[in-house]
Amino acid sequence: MKAATVRYILDTIGELFPDAHCELNHSNAFELTIAVLLSAQCTDETVNKVTKDLFQKYKSPEDYVAVPVEELEQDIRRIGLFRNKAKHIRNLCMLLMEQYGGEVPREHDELVKLPGVGRKTANVVVSNAFDVPAIAVDTHVERVSKRLGLANWKDSVLEVEKKLMKQVPREEWTLTHHRLIFFGRYHCKAQNPKCQVCPLLDVCREGKKRMKTSQIRKDK
Ligand code: SF4
């Protein structure tokens, strides 16, 4: 894709969602790590409801380890896969205490060694908690990038991340990550994207295809 088209896409999405930000409530790197871990296959809204009380009760890795895992399970039971996640949180906290002095490491390479923390989570943590530019590719970022042609349909999540990193200026990685999420969450939704009113329709291969298909349906 031409650099000018990429610029146009980034600027247009920026105009639609100038204030895009991390929607997971947190006040430090540790809370963010827990929140992102809880957010797998779960909405940010639900995670925020749970963490409102959770972060009052548990403030440090020691706090999570001090209770039986069954108690932690109960505290996060409104979240999908809560048993697995409780186990991951406990293991994560024990490792943080044993190897990192109870602190969340700042390095991406170290973060991905933590239980339940994958590449995406590590990217969210380094970019939001430590101001290191990164593009975490979640389901919205992946879908929007592929629809717009910033990545290919067959690309893996890692390939999408690499392509975005190549096309987007480094200083815009983190903001672009947030904006693509907002764009995917509120405009270019998985079901019924708003193609008819989309300012990117002219440059969007998926949008053009969808509009053509709906026109053919109307003509029949
Ligand atoms: S035209 Fe449709 S598919 Fe393309 S970016 Fe806009 S809403 Fe998404």
Residue-wise pLDDT for 92-112, tens only, equals 999 999 999 999 999 999 999
Which pLDDT belongs to residue 41? Answer: 85
| Residue 17 scores a pLDDT above 90 | yes
Residues with Cβ < 8 Å from 149, sequence gap 6 or more? 1, 203, 204, 205
Residue 215 contacts residue 156 (beta carbons within 8 Å): no
- Convert the pLDDT of each residue in 165-210 to its tens digit: 999 999 999 999 999 999 999 999 999 999 999 999 999 999 999 9
Which pLDDT belongs to residue 102? Answer: 95
| Residue 160 scores a pLDDT above 80 | yes
| Residue 123 scores a pLDDT above 90 | yes
Q: How many CB atoms lie within 10 A of CB 197?
A: 7
CA atoms within 13 A on the CB side of 126: 20
Which pLDDT belongs to residue 220? Answer: 67
Q: Is 11 a catalytic residue?
A: no
Q: What's the distance, CA 171 to chain centroid?
A: 18
Which is catalytic among the residues 138, 155, 212, 219? 138
- Convert the pLDDT of each residue in 25-81 to its tens digit: 999 999 999 999 999 889 999 999 999 999 999 999 999 999 999 999 999 999 989
The pTM for the full model equals 0.90
Radius of gyration of the chain (CA): 19
The closest-lying atom of ligand 1 relative to the alpha carbon of residue 194 is 7
Q: Residue type at 59? A: K
- Dist. CA 208–CA 86, nearest whole Å: 44
Q: Is 138 a catalytic residue?
A: yes
Which pLDDT belongs to residue 137? Answer: 95
| Residue 217 scores a pLDDT above 80 | no
Residue nearest atom 2 of ligand 1, based on CA coordinates: 195
- In three-state secondary structure terms, 220 is coil
- In three-state secondary structure terms, 38 is helix
